[in-house]
Amino acid sequence: MSTVKAILTDIEGTTSSISFVKDELFPYARRALPGFVAARGREPAVRKWLDAVAAENGGLCDDTMIVEVLQGWIDEDRKHTALKALQGMIWADGYRNADFTAHIYPDAAPALRQWHDAGLPLYVYSSGSVPAQRLFFGHSDAGDLTGLFSGWFDTEVGGKREADSYRRIAEAIGQAPGDALFLSDIVAELDAAREAGLQTVLVDRRDDYPQPRHGDATHGHARVESFAQIAA
């Protein structure tokens, strides 16, 4: 690995377990959606996303149908910006009421702290909305980690499997792409980051991926099973 001047990390499957997101966060949002839309569907910040979903589905005019579309997207794990924005607003209630704290792998928090303390700027790039990312790290199992991060990116910058997204992020954080390291559990995301010139590490966690990915399955990306193995 050449010199790294900034680290960009994914969340689900990388700093934190897939099962926490799939088995806790998503079902919480799915259950709360009807009540959330009924209570807050007229607020402009909420309506804008509901209208975006309606427009994309042939102009649905009924909020019940919009909720059904959104619940279907949750079931499919669609990384749609409107869904992610609405999920973030719903999870805010969950964190506020202490219904859950966000999972973070025991190796991730110390490594993030160490890199931060060594002067390495840290950034998040997740399909979860930026407000959801801040809530996540603000209410993690390891406490409030938001102060460790210098910036946050979600799919408003572009999809995670598109090289241009990583070019935009490198420009936004003022780094040459080759000086930034991207960490993710998804090979297609790492391929896009590498195409943009970033350094990459596949985080291949046994808890999330019982079958280790070796050889061709890594697409040539460096591979670790824990943040403790990343020599940044």
Query: Which residues of this chain interact with Mg ion, rule CB under 5 A?
Result: 10, 12-13, 185
Residue 25 binding ligand L4RZE5RM, by CB under 6 A: yes
CB of 133 to ligand L4RZE5RM, least distance (A): 5
DSSP β-bridge partners for residue 102: 140
CB of 114 to ligand L4RZE5RM, least distance (A): 22
Residue 11, CB-side half-sphere exposure with 13 Å CA sphere: 27
Residue 24 binding ligand L4RZE5RM, by CB under 6 A: no
Residue 201 binding ligand L4RZE5RM, by CB under 6 A: no
Give the one residue of 126, 140, 165, 175 binding ligand L4RZE5RM; rule: CB under 6 A: 126
Residue 165 binding ligand L4RZE5RM, by CB under 6 A: no
Residue 11 binding ligand L4RZE5RM, by CB under 6 A: yes
Give the one residue of 17, 133, 175, 200 binding ligand L4RZE5RM; rule: CB under 6 A: 133
CB of 7 to ligand L4RZE5RM, least distance (A): 15
Residue 109 binding ligand L4RZE5RM, by CB under 6 A: no
The residue ranges that bind ligand L4RZE5RM (CB under 6 A) are 10-13, 21, 25, 79, 84, 87, 126-128, 132-133, 136, 160
